[in-house]
């Protein structure tokens, strides 16, 4: 069992010490160093999984309370164990739908800017491939956003969450999609766009 | 001869006398004698003769007599003898009847029937004792014995009627045929025969209830069959001789005759069956050819023929007769409407601006609607099925026609435009299109009512409301209403159809104007001696939320005098209402100024020219006023020369507005410019000091008309926003009540609850998305199809 002051000491290695408000946080710069220590590619999924496991509320910012409870939950004491834990979490995403869903949903909050309710379409385009790997629905959705970037500027929470469901149920020939179902209106557009011969 | 025989012989004489009484006359005395005979002596005599034959000399009282077996035997004897006697009589009557035929037979039968009826009643009374005692007892024991009256009728039926009924029927038919062929004959004879058939009741007399079996099987059915055959032949004849139209007229008349007649002789229970049979042979058989006449009649607008056709087909019932008409009517009216609009599209006048286009369009719609409404009313008696057909047709051609096919035009906007032309000053053409001679207020009311009629059919009433609101606002602000009463009339007409939501906004605008007027009056009163400036001005204070007016696109620095006046008004206003924020809409205000050009000649030189100008124009022109110029004083005799830039700086107007107004002023020759007298942004402007015009008054302000295309765009944008809000509000209302709902049900409920327009599914989905984003709804975690209301 990791002792409290071990976790604390570990935290302090990356903590932002210039803060005037005295809050114990790891800021993006420190987080990047941590990822370096873990040999995580900053453009990959690992940093985000890490943030999620450490209960971060914002991208690149970890508070001590979250750090502590996260480390304990993972039963991790050092860098090697942490690296392993995160790797296996990522593996689990493929097997455990509920787990991935929770992570995926949190990603939305990481992507959106502080005051905004929605995520910028270009951010979604950048991050979705990383997070969702090679799910074909996500791929198509990203292409759709790119093609319609002049009109569609944001992705709402409902659209984001519904996208995961869509990826689980939509057939490649689009035959089981109906605009009379409860999908968000944007998906009606998506399917129409996918049906176009020039899109295929 | 036994006592019984003796008594009977007396009775029988009396009975005969009663039966034959019309020939011999009937004395009341005889009646009394017979009755008494029956009552006292007859029975007593029976009883005494009974007594005499019994051993022991026992005495019987009359009361006892009926309760003994012997009394019963004698009752039966009496009954039987009467039965036989009257049967004989009837057989004789039957024989006599064979001498007669045709109308004579009917008369004979009728006479005998009436006579017999009375006789039966009388005999029934005379034999009253028998009725009450022996017969009653037999009936109580369940024996098939009927009272005397019933017996009499049975005897008539079995001994005479059954014999003669076929001849009777033949006679009736021949009489009916003569009547139908147009000859005069006595219908009462038929009525009597019918009555007798009815009275003869059913074959089962024991029950005592009168049934219609005799009548039905021995009269009605053969009669109906006979009538049917008669008309079958007649129909063929008429159809051969003439057109189907003639046939219709003939059928119509004959049916009316038959209807009127039938009430006089047929039993009322038969009228329906009889009517149906006639309908079948006269109308039903020709149904197809009749229905095929419908369209040509509509085309030729033959109201009388249509009315006849409608009445005839109505007799066949809703499904067989009227339903086939409905679809034809609907598509006919629809085509007529579409055609009328198409014609308007082709007309030259329609291309010349929105006012003409909308007027011609609406008038085309109205003419079609009126034409077929009047046919519906005059020929079809406002039949509900056909009325619905008319409504469907109107809904179709009013909303989906050639004029409104593209994005440029829209039935709702055109109608709003039309209403504007009716209510705005200076539109004599539109109003004159009403009836000449009617007072213009009545005329206006009629035209507005007609416009509302079209409004009811609009698919997108909310577009009309937004457009009408804008036109209305402009009329009020520019003081262009032709009649205040007219405006109020229109508001109340709209309220009838669409309720308070829409019209309350209009009413508020209206009252803003009224209140402003009062304010202005009071202001003028208070400031009468205090102001010092020698011009009048009026303010309209409008409630921002109620008016579809936008902020001006340019800033403006008011001329100093105007500035002062505005301040004074604000001070006055804030005494009654404090804490209000004002947005100035200078683009809607106008001014009237008197111009004295330095070198003007002609009659107006002394009196000055009167110009109506926009406030922007005013600001520009005031710069050239010698006393209030921008500090340069007189550059020349013509007054100051200013560059475009200087004008901009001094007035703080934006470039486009300034240029636009200067263009108007230059065209009107108020200004000269260094650029060939054209208004450009590089030119220098001087007053046209030698201005001369025949006209003393000029309106320069109204020359910048609103851009119709931009208007349409603004309207659509406003409508879309309103719709989005309406859909969201509807969804929230539904979800608040239901708490949880499946997607499809929510969509359905939303569509049903919104009356003003047809919400599209994609719009509903958008609204749902917005509400989810804003935290009013959430998707259920377990079931994506379900929404939960978040309180």
The residues, any chain, with a CB within 8 Å of residue A105's CB and separated by 6 or more, are A160, A161, A164
Range ranked top by mean pLDDT from B118-122, B195-199, B232-236 = B232-236
Nearest to A185 among B769, B779, B784 (CB): B769
Q: What is the pLDDT of residue B19?
A: 80
Smallest Cα distance from B726 to chain A, Å: 18
Nearest to B769 among A156, A165, A179 (CB): A156
Smallest Cα distance from B715 to chain A, Å: 22
- pLDDT tens by residue, B542-568: 998 889 888 888 889 988 888 888 888
Q: What is the pLDDT of residue A18?
A: 76
Between vectors from CA B59 to CA B53 and to CA B64, what angle results, nearest 5°? 100
User: For the ranges B26-35, B430-439, B736-745, which has the lowest average pLDDT?
Assistant: B430-439
Determine whether the interchain pair B765/A188 forms a contact, defined as Cβ–Cβ distance below 8 Å. yes
Determine whether the interchain pair B772/A117 forms a contact, defined as Cβ–Cβ distance below 8 Å. no
**Best residue in A118, A158, A188, A189 for a mutation probing chain B (most B CBs within 10 Å):** A158
**In this model, does residue B22 exceed pLDDT 80?**
no
Determine whether the interchain pair A158/B773 forms a contact, defined as Cβ–Cβ distance below 8 Å. yes
Q: What is the pLDDT of residue B429?
A: 60
**Chain B residues near residue A182 by CB distance under 8 angstroms:** 743, 779, 784-785, 787
For chains A and B, CB pairs below 8 A equal: 40
- pLDDT tens by residue, A57-98: 888 888 889 998 999 999 988 889 999 999 999 999 988 989
Alpha helices for B25-68 (secondary structure H) = 28-36, 43-53, 62-65
In chain A, what percentage of residues exceed pLDDT 90?
Answer: 50
**Best residue in A108, A185, A192 for a mutation probing chain B (most B CBs within 10 Å):** A185
Write the DSSP string, B718-765: HHHHHHHHHHHHHHHHHHHHHSEEEHHHHHHHHHHH--SS---HHHHH
Q: Which of B461, B537, B459, B476 is nearest to B511 (CA)?
A: B476
CA distance B526 to B523: 5
Determine whether the interchain pair A185/B766 forms a contact, defined as Cβ–Cβ distance below 8 Å. yes
Nearest to B769 among A158, A179, A181 (CB): A158
Determine whether the interchain pair A179/B761 forms a contact, defined as Cβ–Cβ distance below 8 Å. yes
Specify whether the backbone of B107 is left (phi greater than 0), alpha (psi in -120 to 50) or beta.
Answer: alpha
Chain A residue nearest residue B779, CA to CA? A158
Q: For B87, which DSSP code? A: H
Between vectors from CA B771 to CA B769 and to CA B775, what angle results, nearest 5°? 120
Q: Are B420 and B705 in contact (CB under 8 A)?
A: no
Specify whether the backbone of B144 is left (phi greater than 0), alpha (psi in -120 to 50) or beta.
Answer: beta
**Best residue in B727, B746, B772 for a mutation probing chain A (most A CBs within 10 Å):** B772
Q: What is the pLDDT of residue A142?
A: 93
Residue that the structure tokens 């698919």 belong to:
B459
Band the pLDDT of B669: cuts 50, 70, 90. confident
- pLDDT tens by residue, B263-298: 888 888 888 999 999 999 999 988 998 999 999 999
ipTM tops 0.90? no
Mean confidence (pLDDT) of chain B: 84
**Chain A residues near residue B784 by CB distance under 8 angstroms:** 162, 165, 182
Smallest Cα distance from A30 to chain B, Å: 34
- pLDDT tens by residue, B117-160: 888 888 888 777 777 777 777 778 777 788 888 888 888 888 88
**In this model, does residue B207 exceed pLDDT 60?**
no
Q: How big is chain B, counted in residues?
A: 791
| Six token digits for residue A35 | 């990822």
Q: B594 - beta bridge partners?
A: B610
**Chain A residues near residue B762 by CB distance under 8 angstroms:** 179, 185, 188
Q: What is the pLDDT of residue B44?
A: 47
**Chain A residues near residue B727 by CB distance under 8 angstroms:** none
Nearest to A184 among B744, B761, B769 (CB): B769
Q: What is the pLDDT of residue B751?
A: 94
Determine whether the interchain pair B773/A157 forms a contact, defined as Cβ–Cβ distance below 8 Å. yes
- pLDDT tens by residue, B374-399: 999 999 999 999 999 999 999 999 99
Q: A164-168 contacts: CB < 8 A, separation 24 or more?
A: A164/A101, A164/A104, A164/A105, A165/B784, A166/A137, A167/A132, A167/A135, A167/A136, A167/A137, A167/A138, A168/A97
Determine whether the interchain pair B779/A158 forms a contact, defined as Cβ–Cβ distance below 8 Å. yes
**Chain B residues near residue A190 by CB distance under 8 angstroms:** none
Q: Average pLDDT in the B429-455 region?
A: 76
CA distance B506 to B488: 9
Determine whether the interchain pair A180/B761 forms a contact, defined as Cβ–Cβ distance below 8 Å. yes
Chain A residues touching chain B at CB-CB below 8 Å: 117-118, 156-159, 161-162, 165, 179-186, 188
Smallest Cα distance from B768 to chain A, Å: 8
Determine whether the interchain pair A158/B743 forms a contact, defined as Cβ–Cβ distance below 8 Å. no
Determine whether the interchain pair B762/A179 forms a contact, defined as Cβ–Cβ distance below 8 Å. yes
**In this model, does residue B706 exceed pLDDT 50?**
yes
CB atoms near residue B273 (< 10 Å): 14
Q: What is the pLDDT of residue B169?
A: 86
Range ranked top by mean pLDDT from B151-160, B306-315, B352-361 = B306-315
Band the pLDDT of B48: cuts 50, 70, 90. very low
**In this model, does residue B480 exceed pLDDT 50?**
yes
Band the pLDDT of B473: cuts 50, 70, 90. very high
Q: What is the pLDDT of residue B723?
A: 93
**Chain A residues near residue B743 by CB distance under 8 angstroms:** 181-182
User: For the ranges A40-49, B88-97, B141-150, which has the lowest average pLDDT?
Assistant: B141-150
The residues, any chain, with a CB within 8 Å of residue B703's CB and separated by 6 or more, are B664
**Best residue in B769, B785, B787 for a mutation probing chain A (most A CBs within 10 Å):** B769
Q: Are B90 and B160 in contact (CB under 8 A)?
A: yes
- pLDDT tens by residue, A104-150: 999 999 998 778 889 999 999 999 999 888 789 999 999 999 999 89
Chain A residue nearest residue B765, CA to CA? A185
Window 714-773 of B, Cβ < 8 Å to A: 743-744, 747, 761-762, 765-766, 768-769, 772-773
Determine whether the interchain pair B785/A158 forms a contact, defined as Cβ–Cβ distance below 8 Å. no
Range ranked top by mean pLDDT from B448-452, B532-536, B650-654 = B448-452
Band the pLDDT of A186: cuts 50, 70, 90. very high
- pLDDT tens by residue, B620-665: 988 887 554 455 555 566 677 888 888 898 899 999 889 889 988 9
Chain A residue nearest residue B747, CA to CA? A180
Name the strand (E) or helix (H) holding B687.
strand B684-687
């Amino acid at each position: 069992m990791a002792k409290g002051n071990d976790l604390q000491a570990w935290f302090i290695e990356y903590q932002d010490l210039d803060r005037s408000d005295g809050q114990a946080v790891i800021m993006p710069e420190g987080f990047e160093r941590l990822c370096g220590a873990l040999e995580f590619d900053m453009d990959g999924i690992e940093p985000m999984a890490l943030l999620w496991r450490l209960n971060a509320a914002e991208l690149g910012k970890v508070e001590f309370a979250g750090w502590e409870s996260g480390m304990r939950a993972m039963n991790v004491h050092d860098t090697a164990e942490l690296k392993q834990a995160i790797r296996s979490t990522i593996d689990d995403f493929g097997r455990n739908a509920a787990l991935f869903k929770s992570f995926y949903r949190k990603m939305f909050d990481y992507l959106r800017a502080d005051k905004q309710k929605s995520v910028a379409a270009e951010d979604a385009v950048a991050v979705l491939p990383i997070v969702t790997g090679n799910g074909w629905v996500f791929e198509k959705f990203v292409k759709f956003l790119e093609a319609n970037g002049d009109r569609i500027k944001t992705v709402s929470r409902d659209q984001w969450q519904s996208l995961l469901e869509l990826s689980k149920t939509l057939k490649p020939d689009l035959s089981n999609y109906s605009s009379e179902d409860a999908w968000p209106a944007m998906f009606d557009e998506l399917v129409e766009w996918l049906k176009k011969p020039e899109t295929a | 001869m036994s006592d019984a025989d003796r008594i009977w012989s007396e009775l029988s004489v009396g009975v005969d006398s009663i039966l034959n009484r019309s020939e011999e006359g009937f004395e009341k005395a005889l009646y009394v004698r017979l009755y008494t005979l029956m009552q006292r002596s007859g029975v007593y005599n029976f009883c005494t003769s009974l007594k005499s034959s019994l051993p022991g000399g026992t005495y019987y009282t009359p009361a006892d007599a009926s309760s003994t077996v012997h009394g019963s035997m004698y009752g039966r004897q009496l009954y039987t003898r009467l039965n036989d006697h009257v049967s004989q009589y009837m057989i004789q009557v039957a024989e006599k009847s064979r001498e007669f035929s045709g109308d004579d037979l009917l008369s004979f039968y009728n006479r005998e029937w009436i006579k017999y009826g009375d006789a039966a009643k009388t005999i029934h009374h005379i034999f009253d004792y028998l009725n009450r005692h022996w017969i009653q007892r037999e009936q109580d024991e369940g024996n098939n014995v009927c009272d005397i009256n019933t017996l009499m009728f049975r005897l008539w039926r079995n001994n005479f009627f059954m014999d003669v009924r076929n001849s009777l029927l033949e006679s009736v038919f021949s009489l009916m045929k003569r009547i139908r062929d147009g000859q005069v004959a006595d219908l009462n004879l038929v009525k009597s025969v019918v009555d007798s058939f009815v009275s003869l009741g059913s074959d089962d007399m024991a029950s005592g209830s009168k049934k219609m079996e005799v009548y039905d099987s021995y009269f009605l059915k053969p009669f109906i069959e006979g009538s049917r055959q008669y008309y079958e032949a007649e129909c063929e004849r008429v159809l051969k001789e003439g057109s189907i139209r003639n046939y219709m007229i003939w059928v119509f008349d004959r049916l009316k005759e038959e209807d009127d007649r039938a009430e006089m002789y047929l039993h009322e229970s038969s009228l329906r069956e009889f009517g149906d049979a006639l309908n079948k042979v006269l109308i039903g058989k020709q149904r197809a050819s009749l229905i095929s006449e419908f369209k040509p009649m509509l085309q030729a607008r033959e109201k009388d023929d249509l009315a006849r056709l409608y009445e005839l087909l109505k007799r066949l019932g809703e499904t067989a007769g009227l339903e086939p008409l409905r679809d034809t009517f609907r598509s006919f009216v629809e085509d007529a409407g579409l055609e009328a609009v198409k014609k308007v599209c082709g007309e030259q006048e329609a291309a010349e601006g929105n006012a003409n286009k909308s007027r011609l369009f609406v008038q085309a719609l109205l003419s079609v609607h009126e034409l077929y409404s009047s046919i519906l009313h005059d020929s079809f008696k406002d039949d509900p099925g056909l009325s619905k057909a008319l409504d469907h047709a109107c809904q179709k051609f009013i909303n989906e026609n050639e004029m409104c096919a593209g994005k440029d035009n829209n039935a709702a906007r055109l109608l709003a435009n039309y209403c504007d032309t009716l209510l705005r000053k200076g539109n004599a053409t539109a109003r004159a299109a009403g009836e000449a001679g009617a007072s213009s207020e009545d005329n206006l009311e009629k035209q507005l009512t007609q416009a509302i009629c079209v409004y009811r059919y609009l698919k997108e009433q909310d577009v009309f409301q937004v457009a009408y609101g804008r036109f209305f606002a402009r009329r009020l602000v520019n003081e262009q209403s032709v009649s205040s009463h007219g405006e109020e009339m229109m508001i109340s007409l709209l309220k009838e159809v669409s309720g308070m939501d829409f019209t309350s906004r209009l009413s508020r605008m209206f009252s803003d104007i009224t209140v402003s007027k009062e304010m202005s009056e009071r202001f003028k009163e208070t400031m009468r001696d205090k102001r010092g400036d020698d011009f009048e001005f009026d303010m309209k204070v409008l409630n921002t939320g109620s008016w579809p007016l936008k902020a001006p696109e340019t800033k403006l620095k008011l001329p100093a005098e105007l500035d002062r006046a505005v301040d004074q008004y604000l001070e006055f206003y804030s005494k009654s209402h404090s804490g209000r924020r004002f947005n100035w809409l200078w683009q809607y205000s106008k001014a009237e100024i008197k111009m004295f050009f330095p070198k003007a000649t002609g009659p107006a030189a002394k009196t000055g020219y009167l110009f109506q100008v926009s406030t922007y124009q005013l600001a520009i022109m005031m710069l050239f006023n010698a006393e209030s110029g921008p500090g340069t004083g007189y550059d020349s005799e013509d007054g100051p020369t200013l560059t475009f830039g200087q004008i901009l700086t001094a007035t703080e107007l934006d470039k486009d507005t300034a240029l636009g107004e200067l263009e108007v002023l230059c065209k009107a020759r108020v200004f000269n410019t260094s650029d060939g007298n054209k208004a450009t942004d590089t030119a220098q402007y001087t007053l046209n000091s030698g201005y001369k015009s025949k006209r003393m008054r000029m309106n320069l302000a109204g020359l910048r008309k609103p851009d119709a295309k931009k208007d349409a765009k603004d309207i659509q944008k406003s409508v879309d926003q309103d719709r989005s809000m309406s859909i969201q509000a509807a969804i929230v209302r539904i979800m608040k009540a239901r708490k949880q709902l499946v997607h499809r049900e929510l969509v359905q409920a939303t569509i049903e609850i919104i009356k003003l327009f047809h919400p599209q599914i994609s719009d509903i989905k958008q609204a749902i998305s917005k509400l989810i984003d804003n935290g009013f709804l959430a998707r259920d975690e377990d079931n994506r199809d379900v929404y939960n209301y978040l309180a």
